[in-house]
Amino acid sequence: MALRFPIPERENILSENSPQPAGRLRGNAIGALGAAVISMAFMGPATSVVFNTPAAAAKIGYALPVGVLLSMVACLITASAIAAFARKLPSAGFAYTFNTHAYGKGAGFVSGWTLALVYGVVGPMVVAAMGVYGNKLFVDQFGWDVPWWVISAVVLVALWWIGSRGISQSVKAALIFLVLELVVILTLAFTVIGKGGAEGNSLAPFDPGNSLGGFGGIGFAMLWGILMFVGFESAGTLGEETRNPRRSVPFALFAAVIMIGIMYVVAWYAAAVGFGPGAVQDLAASGDPFSALSDTYWGKEVAWVLTLTVLNSQFANVLSGSTGAVRIIFALSREGILPRRLASTDERNSPVAAWAAYAVLTGIVALTLGAVIGPLETYFFLGGVLGLGIIVLYISMNIGLIRYFWVHHRAEWSPIRHGLLPIVGSVLMLLPIYGQVWPIPDWPYRLVPYLIAAWIVAGAVYFGFLRSRRPGLVEGMGRVWEPDNAPVPADEPQHAGR
């Protein structure tokens, strides 16, 4: 059975609307394409292929495209699950709201708690990495050795200023950066392919038998492949600000996975043939394989183009990712799980308090962890937290979809879409979990599974505290907020204003 890809009516990316009540996000602020832009920019295409390719190649080798293709299939199935939820429960709470309705208050709370960690690390990891790449650009082009932390601090201020001005401004900035990075990376990839690579083009990279680490190698590459897709689901956090969210959010989810997924396959294929089967170890050992490809196929005199493109991609990535993280903070604060003052908005209906809190937290984590283990190591360590944590949430939403439709919408339950597909998607997601824990990673990356497990346990303990001390708050968890109406109780599958 083929997946259906809902297409929204023709509409502009941005639109202007009258302000919503204070403390609410601006309804109908963006269209389907705007939500898709945020999702695609969050994925950080150029950043993903530059940073994640050598990590994946270390264990999958010449079979790079296999890893990203399987990741794409798994994410498409997950997109189908998220889209089904979004049609029924459009809300900034995303996995928190979805899993509350699927499993109950406790599981929903822990999902929101985990999502806060997963989205919360996006800012620190990318801001730290931008400090490294910014330093490289200044040294290479001007001979200025500007400390990475100075560049990271400037980036953080710019991030806060643009993000706090509202979702429309975030979409405009993300769209510009996204187009630029896609043009550069695809042009480089097609140049490599067009020139025949190192030893000629072939279909060998699509043969799973060429995986260096066999089955485990494919699973490990899928971890980094899925990490490259992380962000497509962020359209699910924009349900309160998107026009016609029950159609627009699903469209944005599928558009993001398919469009950027094709770009990833092309890029990883270009990396494989660009280095060639005899230089797989060089590809894995290269900290920046696409710069090496640029030097070889474009010439070293234009090396700054790729460096600038990565910086551009990183900023679009961190802006879009932080936009999603701030919506999670806003939703949890509105529920009373976090301080309610973080749910305040300004005259533009922008969650300025949540933005301020997120910017401060991002600065503390990025600068502290960067000083202890190094800024680039901060990116990879927090990237592991992001990748593994979001996979756990993907699996929980896949399985949750089965129960949600069976319990609340039995008449609409489909054995394939609401049964078979979520199970297949969850099984595929087990591969990168296996690749992350075995063989045991080096220090400090081996700490990632334990950190996530400890965070989940802490969330369960906190929920127990809230249930015993603030039962009224727990009872109201998981409300669905329509753009211009009151919330619906968490145990009612209907929608506000209906």
Domain boundaries, the chain: 34-475
What is the per-residue pLDDT for 439?
67
Query: What is the per-residue pLDDT across 385-398, written as a single tens digit (0 to 9) for each?
Result: 888 888 888 899 88
Cβ atoms 417, 138 nearer than 8 A: no
Mean pLDDT, residues 408-426 taken together: 88
**pTM of the predicted model as reported, rounded to 2 decimal places:** 0.74
Q: What percentage of the chain carries pLDDT values higher than 90? A: 15
Cβ atoms 250, 76 nearer than 8 A: no
432, pLDDT greater than 80 = no
- Residue 30 backbone dihedrals phi, psi, to 5 degrees: -135, 160
Query: What is the per-residue pLDDT across 25-75, written as a single tens digit (0 to 9) for each?
Result: 555 566 677 777 778 877 888 888 887 888 888 888 888 899 899 989 888
Beta bridge partners of 176: none
Averaged pLDDT score across all residues of the chain: 79
Pick the CATH number of 34-475 from 1.20.1740.10, 3.40.50.2300, 1.10.600.10, 3.40.710.10: 1.20.1740.10
Q: What gap in Å lies between CA 416 and CA 404, rounded to an integer?
A: 15
What is the per-residue pLDDT for 492?
41
Classify each residue of 467-497 as buried b or exposed e, where b means 16 or more C-beta atoms within 10 Å of its C-beta.
beeeeeebeebbbbbbbbeebbebeeeebbe
Q: What gap in Å lies between CA 4 and CA 258, rounded to an integer?
A: 13
Cβ atoms 243, 15 nearer than 8 A: yes
152, pLDDT greater than 90 = yes
